[in-house]
Chains A and B, each alone.
Chain A
Amino acid sequence: MTPRSDRDGAAIEGPRAAPERAPALSVDRLRAYYMTHYFGVEREVRAVDDISLVVNRNEIYGLAGESSSGKTTFLKTIAAAIRPPLTVIGGDVRYSFLDRDIYALSPAELSAIRWKHLSYITQGSMNVLNPVRRVRQSFIDFAFRHMNLSRRAFFPAVERHLQQLHLAANVLDAYPHELSGGMKQRVTIALATICRPEFIIADEPTTALDVIVQKDVLAMIRNAQQAIGSSILFVTHDMTVHANIADRLGVMYAGRLVEEAPTADIFHKPMHPYTAHLVGSLPKIGETARQEALSGSPPNLADPPAGCRFHPRCPLAMDICRQASPALTTLAPGRRVACYAASPLVQASEPAESAPDAALRTRTAGARR
């Protein structure tokens, strides 16, 4: 596989005006909270708090972080799959195939772009495949109306596509429970890629698979991505998977993006102490040294700690970390870090605007399906 360094540094903060140079996805100061009020008690869980990132065309962007760091909420938010109590408080999500913010779309327009331009590989493939319908039906449900093919032409096209993922045509007549985990996952990859979407969201697609199948599935995701030239936002907590598939990597902690860099830089010189811990705690064949676990547990996002959200567990915590939240600062082209200890250039972030205004709420309500 050829190195992709040529694309890595290019146009990360490219001009948004020229549409053909625009990144596949740009997210600007996105905030999405779970707003609940039970028995008169209002709670907001800040699962996605002020995230800005750019995914370039034809790139695999990896997003890492532990459970409850807001990864899946972020994916739901950028896919406009928002249901109460999840509410988008502020921010923009723009795709290259759309001329406006995704939240400005009507439900009909959203369903027209889903699977055709924007598709989703979910964690448990059983969540996508209906257990009481044959796989053939799932293909009709998801892809038929987007492909503009007659029924006679549609199934040969599906079979050719399955062939590329090394699945035989008789998979179409099987029920999901008749397929192994790896085959089911490949069927969902086939569903997600058959319309050649510009953007694919992959939420822990290999977590439930064993090592051999995992490697096959990763190779197929990579090949499919290169064949159709789409961008993938790839989410998993497994850093070794990221090492092997992602071009660039963002690390999330407690609803915030804390570091972003090309994958090799993250592994060779991590700058944020949390990233350093993630990279340092990987088990390797040939090493038996015992690794220290981080003390404490991830913060409660309904009541996150003041200042940097990592400071209660951070070995490098200073006074300033307890007072003000560090901004995600660009330290080198393509390299952003939110840690005071990483560089004196890192400043406190400007506080996001306070109360959610009513206009934003109604806007997200309109985008809901």
Chain B
Amino acid sequence: MSGELLEVDHVTKSFAIGGLFGRGRFNAVDDVSFTLHANNPEILAIIGESGSGKTTLARMVLNASQPTSGAIRFRGEPLRQARGRRRRLEFIRQIQPILQNPYEAFNPLKRVDRYLYASAAHLAGARSQKARDEAADAALQKVGLSLAEVKGRFPHELSGGQLQRAAIARALISSPSLIVADEPVSMVDASLRMSIVSLFRRLHDDLKVSILYITHDLATAYTISDRVIIMQKGKVVETGPAREVLTHPQHPYSKLLKESVLSPDDVGKGRLTAERVGAAPEQAQTGK
């Protein structure tokens, strides 16, 4: 397979805001384009603060919502056409999500292995229970767990790091070519964060899977990603190779982001100057 894996072509998503009077449109994602190549898998980080449209973009890539204008093509085929059970299953097999909070992603009343078995049955064609066990175990081994550790356990019986790794294993069962990870480590303890992030890097290196890594954490993005896109208020403000962009940001917003990263090097100096405050006090958007 050659050519483009994922092509995001001038995509805009707008929402209606306001009440009966003064209705307006709000562009959550505004004219965003990027491409992932099939024969060169990479980790693309999308960085931005809350409200910059990162998750809206991820939802459109996962075909969970439709862009207002523009098109997203996966292996040359527009996502709009991935309709019907067979084509949707084929699509889901190729693109898998990993969500922010593993405790919310899994139903607390269901055992974690059920998700693994369901993925194996529907997406990997494992018909017998033995085949499902094998598929689940193989995926769990890739993330440093085993089926024996997970089998029969409820989400609250696993630690946050284990559960997030189980979620990654579930995504790997169908051997996807693209993983969309929406803030996968922001709910995970700082001490476990690096182990999950390094796991992404290893999956990319070993399994040749492309990863769309959505985050507001510049430090982990620097550590694992090949290319970054920095978004502000729905627009792409800067893009390029990760190391270059994050070492020498050009756009003022990228610079602000970089300066806002708290560094352990500042220990004890307490260099806490609020960047954006000091100007006009912030108003509540009460819609009046």
Contacts and interface: CB of A to CB of B under 8 A. Distances in A.
Contact of A297 (B159, B223, B264, B278): B159
Nearest to B162: A297
Contacts of B262: 211, 214-215, 218, 240-241, 243-244
A70 B273 CA distance: 31
A63 to B, nearest CB: 14
B65 interface: no
A211 B261 contact: yes
A178 B169 CA distance: 37
B270 interface: yes
A258 to B, nearest CB: 13
B282 interface: yes
A174 B287 CA distance: 10
A290 B191 contact: no
B6 to A, nearest CB: 25
A285 B49 contact: no
Interface string A7-33: 000000000000000000000000000
A96 interface: no
A180 B286 contact: no
B83 interface: no
Interface residues of A, number: 63
B269 to A, nearest CB: 7
Contacts of B219: 282-285
Contacts of A67: 159-160, 189
Contact of A240 (B197, B264, B287): B264
Contacts of A284: 219, 222, 263-265
B283 interface: yes
Interface residues of B, number: 57
Nearest to A173: B286
B79 interface: no
Interface string B258-288: 1011111111111111111110111111110
Nearest to A212: B260
Given A67-B160, A210-B49, A267 B216 contact: no
B268 A3 contact: yes
Interface in A192-233: 209-216, 218-220, 222
A168 to B, nearest CB: 4
A288 interface: yes
B51 interface: yes
Contacts of B69: none
B257 interface: yes
Contacts of B257: 211-212
A148 interface: no
A239 B247 CA distance: 22
Interface in B199-251: 201, 216-220, 222-223, 243, 246-247
A297 B192 CA distance: 10
B281 A174 contact: no
Contacts of A182: 50
B59 interface: no
Interface in A249-302: 262-264, 267-268, 277-279, 281-288, 290-291, 293-294, 297-298
Contact of B267 (A168, A174, A218, A243): A243
18 contacts: A1-B271, A67-B189, A168-B283, A171-B283, A178-B285, A209-B50, A211-B261, A216-B276, A218-B262, A218-B272, A219-B272, A219-B274, A220-B277, A244-B270, A244-B271, A267-B268, A284-B263, A290-B198
Given A183-B284, A262-B268, A291-B198, 15 more contacts: A1-B272, A66-B191, A168-B281, A180-B51, A210-B216, A211-B262, A215-B260, A240-B262, A263-B267, A264-B267, A283-B193, A284-B265, A293-B191, A297-B161, A297-B162
Listed from nearest, the 9 A-B pairs whose CB atoms lie closest are: A293-B195, A174-B284, A264-B268, A283-B219, A219-B274, A219-B272, A210-B216, A243-B267, A267-B267
